[in-house]
Amino acid sequence: MADHPPIEAYDEIDSTNAEARRRAEAGEGGPVWITAARQTAGRGRRGRAWSTEIGNLAATLLTTTDVPAAEAAQLSFVAALAACDLADTCLGAGAARLKWPNDVLVFGKKAVGILVESGSRPDGRLWLAVGIGVNLAHAPSDTARAATSFAEHMGGPPPKAADAVEVLADRFEVWRRLWSTEGFAPIASAWTARALGLGERCEARLPNRTLLGVAEGMDQDGALRLRLDDGALERITAGDVFFGAP
Ligand code: BTN
């Protein structure tokens, strides 16, 4: 077990990421975990909404870093590994796999989403809000792609959010320390060992275009290597990836 930052729990809030931003903009640097039993305006990647019903986990780590923004973004992979560990604890090793950039899928369906936001502090350092949503008890039905919950795959009740965040925060701290002392390489290899779809065809939906190709792996900076049909290699740094493409 690693000591993790303190956890501050709300019964209801608009969004734990929004709260982290408010606190950062008011000068708070963290590290602190902010959780909420219910979010009324939870947000997901690329402007999507994220629903958090009672029984699910919504948690955001507010922290401050000296490292440049591109490097700090690697914490999204740290978060994915921590969430995968939480899934392993609840469901057994191997039930959860990682999909680039940082979704956690349980038996092929999304059960965890991660949203990292950041901004500059007056002293030039960066604040980070590492938001993690875990479908412990409920899977939303209004998502574009199939979602699942831990509960759907457990013989008994899922863990309470308050217990799950302890495991998540512990595991995050373990991976964060590894990242901090040894850099991104061990994070990238742990991520690759649990990744889904490497070597398979996929469709990559980027902010301004869609590409088809084979997902070859993750670069040492977190970019996805996509081999296009004409043999060219594209490095994808932002977007969504869908496997099972023609
Ligand atoms: C995604 O689109 O996959 C990312 C979802 C991130 C959801 C989490 S829940 C805790 C934190 N607060 C938010 O409003 N969003 C993140």
- Ligand 1 neighbour 113 (Cβ under 6 A): yes
Residue 2 lies in a domain: no
Residue 38 CA to ligand 1 centre (angstroms): 12
Rounded Cα gap, residues 189 and 198, in angstroms: 13
Q: Ligand 1 pocket check: which of 17, 76, 134, 142 to mutate, most ligand atoms within 8 Å of Cβ?
A: 17
Phi, psi of 200, rounded to the nearest 5 degrees: -105, 160
Please work out whether the CB of residue 131 comes within 6 Å of at least one atom of ligand 1.
yes
155 & 172 share domain: yes
Note the Cα 145 to chain centre separation in Å. 17
Domain count for the chain, please give it. 2
Asked whether residue 35 falls in the same domain as residue 81, the answer is yes
147 located within any domain: yes
Q: Is the pLDDT of residue 1 over 70?
A: no
Query: Does 1 reside within a domain?
Result: no
- The DSSP call for residue 46 is G
What letter represents residue 6's amino acid? P
Residues 6+ away with beta carbon under 8 Å from 144: none
| Domain identity same for 213 and 102 | no
Q: Is 56 in the pocket of ligand 1 (CB under 6 A)?
A: no
Rounded to the nearest angstrom, the distance between the alpha carbon of 77 and the centre of ligand 1 is: 14
Q: What is the pLDDT of residue 143?
A: 77
Q: Do 87 and 205 share a domain, yes or no?
A: no
* 75-91 average pLDDT score: 98
Same domain, 77 and 139: yes
Average pLDDT over residues 44-66: 95
Instruction: Write the pLDDT tens digit of every residue in 16-53.
Output: 999 999 999 999 999 999 999 999 999 999 889 998 99
Q: Which of 8, 115, 168, 241 to mutate to test the pocket of ligand 1 (most atoms within 8 A of CB)?
A: 115
Domain holding 71: CATH number? 3.30.930.10
Q: Give tens-digit pLDDT for 105-151.
A: 999 999 999 999 999 999 999 999 999 999 999 998 877 778 999 99
Same domain as 99, residue 17: yes
Residues 189 and 205 in one domain: no
The encoded tokens of residue 221 equal 């900076």
Assign residue 218 the CATH number of its domain: 2.30.30.100
Q: Which of 221, 178, 182, 218 is nearest to 198 (CA)?
A: 218
Strands annotated E in 158-223: 201-205, 210-218
State the pLDDT at residue 155.
Answer: 87
CA distance 25 to 38: 23
Say which residues have a Cβ less than 8 Å from residue 12's Cβ, sequence separation at least 6.
Answer: 36, 37, 38, 39, 40
Burial of 29 (0-12, 13-18, 19+ CB in 10 A): middle
The pLDDT, as a whole number, for residue 29 is 97
Q: Is residue 138 part of a domain?
A: yes
Residues 118 and 236 in one domain: no
Domain contains 37: yes
Note whether 34 and 156 are same-domain residues. Answer: yes
Residue among 43, 98, 134 to mutate when testing ligand 1 (max atoms within 8 A of CB): 43
Ramachandran sector of residue 34 (left: φ over 0; alpha: ψ -120 to 50; beta: rest) = beta
Rounded Cα gap, residues 121 and 219, in angstroms: 29
246 vs 157, higher pLDDT: 157
Q: Is 169 found in the same domain as 55?
A: yes
Q: Is residue 161 part of a domain?
A: yes
Residue 133, CA distances (Å) to 4, 104, 137 in order: 18, 10, 12
Same domain? 59 vs 165: yes
Which range marks the domain in which residue 179 is found?
A: 7-193
160-203 pLDDT, tens per residue?
Answer: 999 999 999 999 999 999 999 999 999 999 999 999 999 999 99
H-run or E-run covering 80: helix 75-91
Same domain, 38 and 55: yes
